[in-house]
Copies of this chain bind each other. A is one copy, B any other.
Amino acid sequence: MANIHDVARVAGVSISTVSYALSGKRPIGEKTRLRIDEAVRELDYMPNAAGRMLAGTRTRIFALTAPLRSDTYAPAHMAFVLSVVTAARKYDYDVLLLTEDEATDGLRRVSSSRLVDGIIVLDVSMNDERADLVRSLGVPAALIGVPRNAEGLVCVDLDFEAAAGLAVDRLVDAGHTSLALLGHPAAVYERGSNFPMRFRDGFLRRAAEREVAASFTMVEKEAAQVRSALAELLDADQAPTGLVVHGEEGVHKTLLDAVAGRGLSIPGDLSIIAGVPTFDTSAFTPPLNVIPLIPADSCTRAVELAVQQLDGAVAPRVELVAPRYRDHGSVAAPRPGP
């Protein structure tokens, strides 16, 4: 396999000239550069990664630590991983994958052996030991998700409060004056991540700001529970006409079945918006308007911030990604009251 000396010999120049010609860090004469390009092609030269890492100060590799917790939705998880890789490649970075069982040891290993230039931390939970580790390692890093103690860390996450606010806005704008949020099971709000709370708070706050009635219900996953939660809401006085659903895929489907079972049409009788899912609500029957959690959005930004940390210091921060709204026709004006 050809090395830079071979290229230099064939092109009749010194190796430093080859290096500068390829990196473009110093001006090289037109004719010389052409000869070098020619030699590179002829020899099928590609710089040796190890040599580069050693001489340069960069390895051009990021570590990605991606726990696969049992409550993680696998397709979404995969989408996050792939988004990170894709984003990293835009900056000419490769991604080394660390698994859950090696989370902290692996991070320690790859960072203190200088195998990676930085770390992307996926699916960060409230009390994530990786957060503290990353802080103590002092390595460039970007977390996706916000730990309880985010001090000194660079974090990226969807703006869940704004997302919920956006859902409220769309429903109120359509004319709804009584809204309900169907949330995760109670257990989710007690432990784990904080985003369900942030979504709930955003929902209630914006509803208050818009001066509309709003309720929040935690819904267990079982079909029967979903049905009874829906019944309780719709059978009440002042029943909500606009629903925001923040839950798992199955809950959405059960809910849609239950709505259909009651003979209600969407959006004729009931408007529904799905909140920050990672699955595709446009394939539901009927398709649901949605404020999706888009892996590429957070991942791209996280990689960007990691790259920036390499040359300029980036101030620690929690950066919230703006939510987007996708209309699939599940929101309309409420029926005029009886």
Q: Which residues of A contact B (CB under 8 A)?
A: 1, 44, 46-54, 59, 61, 64, 68, 74-75, 77-78, 81-82, 85-86, 89, 94-102, 106, 109-110, 112-115
Contacts and interface: CB of A to CB of B under 8 A. Distances in A.
21 contacts: A44-B112, A46-B113, A47-B113, A48-B113, A48-B114, A49-B59, A49-B110, A49-B113, A49-B115, A50-B50, A50-B53, A54-B54, A61-B96, A64-B97, A68-B78, A74-B74, A74-B77, A85-B98, A86-B101, A94-B115, A96-B96
Nearest to A59: B50
B110 A94 contact: yes
Contacts of A61: 96
A99 B96 CA distance: 12
A48 B112 CA distance: 8
B86 A99 contact: yes
Contact of A46 (B47, B99, B109): B109
A68 B79 CA distance: 9
Nearest to A108: B46
Contacts of A50: 50, 53-54, 59, 114-115
Nearest to A74: B75
Across the A-B interface, give the 8 residue pairs with the lowest CB-CB distance, nearest first.
A50-B53, A74-B75, A49-B115, A50-B54, A49-B113, A46-B112, A97-B97, A85-B99
Identical copies in the complex:
2
Given A47-B113, A74-B78, 14 more contacts: A1-B114, A46-B109, A46-B113, A48-B114, A49-B113, A50-B50, A53-B53, A64-B97, A68-B82, A78-B78, A82-B99, A85-B99, A86-B101, A94-B115
Nearest to A98: B85
A81 B53 contact: no
A30 to B, nearest CB: 27
A322 to B, nearest CB: 26
A64 B98 CA distance: 13
Nearest to A72: B78
A105 to B, nearest CB: 10
A210 to B, nearest CB: 38
Nearest to A50: B53
Contacts of A78: 68, 74, 77-78
A218 to B, nearest CB: 24
Contacts of A113: 46-49, 52
Contact of A49 (B48, B52, B98, B114): B114
Contacts of A68: 78, 82
A48 B53 CA distance: 10
Contacts of A54: 48, 50-51, 53-54
Contacts of A53: 49-50, 53-54
A94 B64 CA distance: 12
A282 to B, nearest CB: 15
Contacts of A98: 85
A75 B77 CA distance: 9
A81 B97 contact: yes
Contact of A75 (B75, B86, B95): B75
